[in-house]
Structure 1
Amino acid sequence: MEIRLPSDVKLIIEKLRHNGYSGYVVGGCVRDSLRGLTPHDWDLTTSAPPEEIERIFAEYQTVSVGKKYGTVAVIVEGELYEITTYRIDGEYTDSRHPDEVRFSDRLSDDLARRDFTVNAMAYNDEDGLVDLYGGQQDLTNGVIRCVGDPEQRFSEDALRILRALRFAATLGFTIEPATSDAILRQRKLLSDIAGERIREELLKLLCGENTDFVLRRYRSVIAVFIPELKGTFDFEQNSKHHNRDVYRHIVAAVRNIEPLPLLRVTMLFHDIGKPLAQTTDKFGTSHYKNHPKIGAAMTREILRRLCMSSAFIDEVCTLIRWHDERFQPDTVMLKGYLKRLGVEVMQALMLIQHADILAQSKYMREEKLRNLSAVSDELNRIIAAGECYSLRQLCVNGSDLLHIGVSSGVQIGKTLDLLLDKVIAGELPNEKAALLAYAESTIDKES
């Protein structure tokens, strides 16, 4: 596969070479190019020290994004390119950053410090591909392998453990045995990683095509930073509706839904409350009546710990709270849910329930899917027809009520809500005259 460098990247490499220094693109951009993908970012590495990078590109705007570690960003034609000096890393006592770095003039020193072989390749047009660790072969074979000793790589930066799982999930690669064993042995290092760093890797992992394999094979790794999931491991559901334990059901449900962060995170936690909600009847059948409510509360704490945004947390917890609701293809009922939850939540719940049903046993599956399809059809019909289910669709507003003598803000709100309920129930048409007449009659009664 030919690597085509953008003109700006060629310019940077040429300017470095003209000043007596070597320069290469390196890491993910080389990996993606060899896979036939267009890289999102082009990172470069060079023998030039940081001060020399700044001198060479003095006519351009530069940003010292990590000068201590040898990285200077150069802005060319509005694009930002990070250029890092070849370096040898010292000890990593914080499992994130080297305590010190020594700059080098050898590319081999820089490639030796990188995480995985598929990320330890460099390229420029003059020298071609520089691959000292078999990265291209591993890329062809679909293998994630650490550069050098896996335990050393993971002790340097424990987040690499999660990065390996993320690459396995998103690229569909396998993790070679020595690297896999080191991941499992050193998984507890992840307990010292900040929530926001874990968040970014976890969201990418969950949206990968191979996420179900990773979640099953490396569940003990995931449980290091989400220990609440341990309760679902091997927890049998004792119900005709399920042929998997809770965790395996969760993983199947994650696999079944569209790879969007909101939906995948919801499925990961949708049944996390089941072990705490379980009751068992005299026939030995288990029930989980309050598991959506319990699960939503548990998930809120987990997502806060992972530094998710408040808006995202609220969306996920709402979906978990309502994921097990028994919807019926009843117009009045569905309008009531649309009023309470909104269109986006209801449409997401249709996808969530579909994924959930497919992850259950075959018992009553076709019946459940037929009902869900009828619910979804009626929901879409209501929305497409523009039928009234929200205050913004109501043909009267607060100003209209003020004109007929409803002066209290609280009373205006109550009256609008009452009118909307009457319209949803089919007891009043959504017409201004009829709504105001009814509103006036309620005022008269109160008087």
Structure 2
Amino acid sequence: MTDLETRAAPSPRRVAPALLGYAAVRAMGLLALALWSAARDKSAYTLLTARWDALWYTRVAELGYGYEVRLPNGDVHSNLAFFPLLPWLERLLHAAAPLSYADAGFVVSLLASLAAAWGIFAVADHVYGRRAGVCAVLVWALLPVGIVQSMAYSESLFTALAAWSLYALLTGRWVTAGALASLSGLTRPVGLAVIAAVWATGAATFLQRDPDAPAMAPFGRRGGAAREPGVRTAAHTPDGAHPAIRALGMLIAPLGAAGYVLWVGHHTGGGPLGYLDVQAGWRNGFDGGYAFARFVADKFTSFPAALAGLALTVGVALLIWLYVVCVRQRQPLPLLVYAGAVLALALCASSYFGSKPRLLLPAFPLLLPLALALARLRTPRSALVTGAVAVAAAVYGAWWLNGSGPP
């Protein structure tokens, strides 16, 4: 493989199996949702486009910022908590096509989910090879909360921007990485994870003594994961970018998030940290995981709830174990920093505990060990496993959205 081929984004032909598999899984999920919703006399499309956060996004797109709801307990839910990139795209598409704001949000999410799948493939293909790339996309699609990828939410848009920013880092495109990180910072607060990946990788390249060493290898080690049957050894492209270009990418990365947070502070009169006051109105914050730990511990006070507490404990342990495996497999530094930051921000938030599975959806590097395990299976067996999990995920997603759904 030439250097040009290593650096170029995967061609449509190369990524086609991954995108077709992704589309098939998502179509199965949408079909299950439609059937389940019809049986309960509900509209599947309404569940996807006009419930929960989707309503807040479309209201921002239609009316702009300034709307808030005051609850009886004194809490203030302001739409300033929702970052602007998705509403901007909804407004743009609404103006360009005969679509409602809700329809525009669904289309943006649909296209963004495909872009996210392509970006996940690009990252996994670059590090571990094509088969692992296809499997990484399938594992992301098969997540129990994967139905959110088809909702008029910002998770798919954010994941697309994050994945392509990480790919740009892996291939030495610093300005592109910084620009995409900046856009991710206009999409969700967890854009800080992408910014951290850009800054950590930039710092590592500046501190690296050997200019010819692969800048993306974590902890300064050359090379990557051990070679496995059917899986290419992790590849890292030497970074020959000029230090000024790296610095420019690092400077661009935080502009989106910083710009919106400062604007909110100015708009509310709360100063540079005014956005934190907005989040406090939603009882959102960062307490190091104390509130979540108490939430889980409280589940063990009665027998039926103890089962849920046990499931939560196992789930958190599994996430931490996956991250440890990622470190042991020596994933590139940008992926480790990004996944670790997403994991920390999701688990250590102080409210909306039911949202945590959805908040973890963008942490796709955590899925790479599972993708590698799937890639090692023979094709008939991997197809059987994928099909069985796809059916289970589709049924769960339909049940979930028709029940409590994502808060």
Question: Please, what TM-score do these two structures have when normalized by structure 2?
Answer: 0.23
Bigger proportion of residues as strand:
1
Structure number, greater radius of gyration: 1
Question: Please, what TM-score do these two structures have when normalized by structure 1?
Answer: 0.22
